[in-house]
């Protein structure tokens, strides 16, 4: 499978503070990759960097190679804003947690969807309307005609979320980035939207980067998972391998904080002690060491763990993973 997106040593800072450190990962066509980790680990920062939407206060180093629909491959970090605009909403689309971030309050929903469609898939007006209705149905909008003539404020939060998803999907992107897209939706609608994403990736080979705190959803839809802690990917691999045999104590901790998903019999919820460190004051060595039950003084607080393969396609950043397994 060709990679739709591949980052190399992606490093992001705000002022003097680095919040993302040398991230290298790729997503193949048709693949759903989940990015998980506690609040503040850097997930949205990574997502925004792929979209070129971090703003001027951010410094970004490394590379982000995108394979476009037109066959060309480019490093997004070297492109001028004018070319990035042509790529956003065409090869790349993003669903934000907050729908008002991408809906314009002064235009009707119909105008916003058809405008997005017309930019990248020119077609006659009547066809635009038919396609807009189809998209709204695909995200489970019950009365799509009424929705087309509504303004954003006339819709419920869940409806706005679904309209935004419809707009993101309208251009049939090569890569869809979904940053906690379904948190505001009830379970039935969430399932319907996940089905829609599955269908699109089967039909169009769309790749998906899915950011969520919902490990149950990750298990359900992701082919691979990237676990992020303090701006680094600390474990990655096929979803079943990572959840079936987590090798980084942090991943195991995340799972223990959601035991119902992973244990056959009821077990106690065990939150990970302590907090995510402030990126301006990262602990030396393994950034997780102050919270890790396996931390070894003199070792975990001095050497920075590098990614190591612990099984095919499964990588872990932990100095002690072999001893812990044994």
Ligand X SMILES: Nc1ncnc2c1ncn2[C@@H]1O[C@H](COP(=O)(O)OP(=O)(O)OP(=O)(O)O)[C@@H](O)[C@H]1O
Residue numbers at the binding site for ligand X (CB under 6 A): 14, 19, 37, 39-45, 57, 279
Measured at the alpha carbon of residue 139, what is the angle toward residues 237 and 132, in degrees to the nearest 5?
A: 125
Instruction: Give min distance, CB of 144 to ligand X, in A.
Output: 31
Toward ligand X, which CB reaches closer, 102 or 114? Answer: 102
Instruction: Give min distance, CB of 45 to Mg ion, in A.
Output: 8
Q: Which does 319 bind (CB under 5 to 8 A by kind): Mg ion, ligand SF4, ligand X, none?
A: ligand SF4
Instruction: Give min distance, CB of 161 to ligand SF4, in A.
Output: 36
Q: Which does 169 bind (CB under 5 to 8 A by kind): Mg ion, ligand SF4, ligand X, none?
A: none
The residue ranges that bind ligand SF4 (CB under 6 A) are 248-249, 286, 288-289, 292, 294-295, 300, 305, 318-320
* Residue 41 interacting with Mg ion (CB under 5 A): no
Q: Which does 288 bind (CB under 5 to 8 A by kind): Mg ion, ligand SF4, ligand X, none?
A: ligand SF4
Instruction: Give min distance, CB of 188 to ligand X, in A.
Output: 25
* Residue 44 interacting with Mg ion (CB under 5 A): yes
Instruction: Give min distance, CB of 76 to ligand X, in A.
Output: 18
- The interface region with Mg ion, picked from 36-44, 135-143, 250-258, 308-316 by CB under 5 A, is 36-44
Toward ligand X, which CB reaches closer, 39 or 156? Answer: 39
């Amino acid at each position: 499978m060709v990679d739709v997106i591949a980052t190399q040593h992606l490093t992001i800072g705000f002022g003097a503070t680095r919040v993302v450190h040398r991230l290298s990962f790729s997503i193949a066509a048709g693949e759903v990759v989940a990015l998980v980790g506690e609040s503040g680990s850097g997930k949205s920062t990574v997502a925004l960097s792929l979209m070129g939407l971090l703003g001027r206060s951010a410094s970004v180093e490394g590379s982000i190679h995108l394979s476009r629909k037109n066959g060309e491959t480019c490093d997004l970090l070297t492109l001028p804003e004018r070319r990035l605009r042509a790529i956003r909403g065409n090869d790349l689309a993003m669903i934000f947690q907050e729908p008002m971030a991408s809906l314009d309050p002064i235009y009707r929903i119909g105008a916003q969807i058809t405008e997005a469609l017309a930019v990248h898939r020119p077609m006659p007006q009547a066809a635009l309307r038919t396609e807009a209705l189809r998209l709204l149905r695909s995200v489970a909008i019950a009365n799509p005609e009424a929705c087309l003539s509504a303004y954003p404020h006339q819709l419920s939060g869940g409806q706005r979320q679904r309209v935004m998803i419809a707009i993101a999907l309208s251009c049939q992107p090569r890569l869809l980035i979904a940053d906690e897209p379904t948190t505001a939706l009830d379970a039935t609608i969430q399932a319907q939207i996940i089905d829609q994403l599955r269908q699109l990736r089967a039909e169009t080979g769309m790749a998906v980067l899915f950011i969520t705190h919902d490990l149950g959803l990750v298990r359900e839809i992701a082919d691979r998972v990237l676990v992020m802690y303090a701006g680094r990917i600390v474990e990655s691999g096929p979803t079943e391998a990572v959840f079936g045999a987590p090798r980084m104590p942090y991943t195991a901790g995340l799972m223990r904080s959601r035991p119902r998903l992973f244990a056959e019999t009821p077990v106690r919820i065990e939150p990970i002690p302590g907090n995510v460190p402030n990126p301006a004051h990262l602990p030396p060595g393994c950034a997780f060491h102050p919270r890790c039950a396996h931390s070894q003084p003199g070792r975990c607080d001095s050497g920075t763990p590098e990614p190591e393969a612990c099984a095919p396609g499964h990588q872990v950043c932990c100095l002690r993973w072999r001893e812990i397994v044994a």
